[in-house]
Amino acid sequence: MENYTNISKQEMDKAVEIARSIRSYYFTKMVGQNRLCTSLLVSIMCNGHILLESVPGLAKTTAAKTMTEAVNGTFSRIQCTPDLLPSDITGTQILNYANNSFETKIGPVYANFVLLDEINRSSAKTQSAMLEVMQEHQVTIGGQMYQMPEVFTVIATQNPIEQEGTYLLAEAQLDRFLIKEKLIYPSAEEEMEILSRIENEVFSSRQAVAEIEDVRFLQQLVKKVYLDESIKRYIVQIIHATRNPEKFIGPELAQYVTLGSSTRGAIAMMEVAKAIALLSGRDYVIPEDVKAMIHSVLRHRIALNYAAVADEVSEERIIDAIIGAIPTP
């Protein structure tokens, strides 16, 4: 591991300190949800987008706001409904009667952190309006392109149990999310602590512990983390196995898989692994970094059939079988 990286000790120490400060601030507001903290932080470091799935009331909005406060960024919340129009998100042109000309009004999507609450309640047309924004970091209004902020993360939420008035996200839309995280209920002790913090008005305070420039610093440093050829090959083998599961996990489990991961999944695995390595204070990736968030990276990129639902076979079970079948470098 010699002379492969441009990351100095001073840069590494600064990165670790920034990440520690953000984590510390997160846990002044949030109780539990450790994995959510890591997922949000990794998404920000990779300048990617994250999809959060849980029943209502598990502090998804609070977590998004807390991360925004921590880095002193701009925050925008969009409540998705079936009648939400694409222009309600991206913006539109409005006629100015004073000078008889059109003026462009950028929508709420223009922010460092955009919370799309209950994204599966918006129509397919509105969901598709986010594709250009999420992938290209730009919107087109009246033939004119407008760039999003340099630090731009979409945090979308969806309720897995609601069926009425919801629209399934298309595979192309799901693939735009770097990570999909599933949230669980807090324990009894954690819930007691939440009630105590609400009594003490902990959530009303706001204090930035970092700046957007620090986020950009982390993003640039992630790109410098060393990834050995053997780790790249390991990532490619995992992605290849999701597309040809019968060769790796046998017909019993392979029969449930209808679609494997795209190349964007391999890119996401690489970026997330680099971010995990940096959070661990290392300037090189090890196989454990690839495995650390493998469920979050792949669970929304593997499509299962109705038989899997009937037999209660989850994406996580398929992923674990694939990881177990591929030798670790």
Instruction: For the chain, give the percent of residues with pLDDT over 90.
Output: 62
Among 186, 172, 165, 171, which Cα is nearest to 54's? 186
For residue 155, the cross-strand partners are: 50, 115
Instruction: State the pLDDT confidence band at 209, using cuts at 50, 70 and 90.
Output: very high
Buried b (16+ CB within 10 A) or exposed e, 225-249: bbbeeebbebbeebbbbbeebeebb
Tokens of 29: 């507001």
| CA end-to-end distance (rounded Å), the chain | 16
pLDDT for residue 317: 95
Average pLDDT, the chain: 90
Domain with CATH 3.40.50.300 in the chain: 1-223
Q: Which amino acid is at 64?
A: A
Pick the CATH number of 225-329 from 1.10.3720.10, 3.40.50.450, 3.90.70.10, 1.10.8.80: 1.10.8.80
Judged on CB neighbours under 10 Å (0-12, 13-18, 19+), 72 is middle
- The ranges of the chain annotated as CATH 1.10.8.80 are 225-329
Among 78-82, 92-96, 269-273, 314-318, the minimum mean pLDDT is found in 92-96
For domain 1-223, give the fold. Answer: Rossmann fold (3.40.50)
| Single pTM value for the model | 0.90
Confidence category of residue 101, pLDDT binned at 50, 70, 90: confident
Do the beta carbons of residue 52 and residue 157 sit within 8 Å? yes
- Ranking 2-11, 71-80, 83-92, 191-200 by mean pLDDT, the lowest is 2-11
User: Measured between alpha carbons, how far is 178 from 293 in angstroms, rounded to an integer?
Assistant: 11
Q: Where does the pLDDT of residue 169 fall: very low under 50, low under 70, confident under 90, or very high at 90 and above?
A: confident
How would residue 40 be classed by pLDDT, with cut points 50, 70 and 90? Answer: very high
Question: How confident is the model at residue 205, as a pLDDT?
Answer: 77
Sorted by sequence, the CB contacts under 8 Å of residue 31 that are 6+ apart come out as 186, 190, 191, 193, 194, 197
Confidence of residue 189 (pLDDT cuts 50, 70, 90): very high
Residue showing tokens 């994406």 = 315
d(CA 186, CA 17): 28
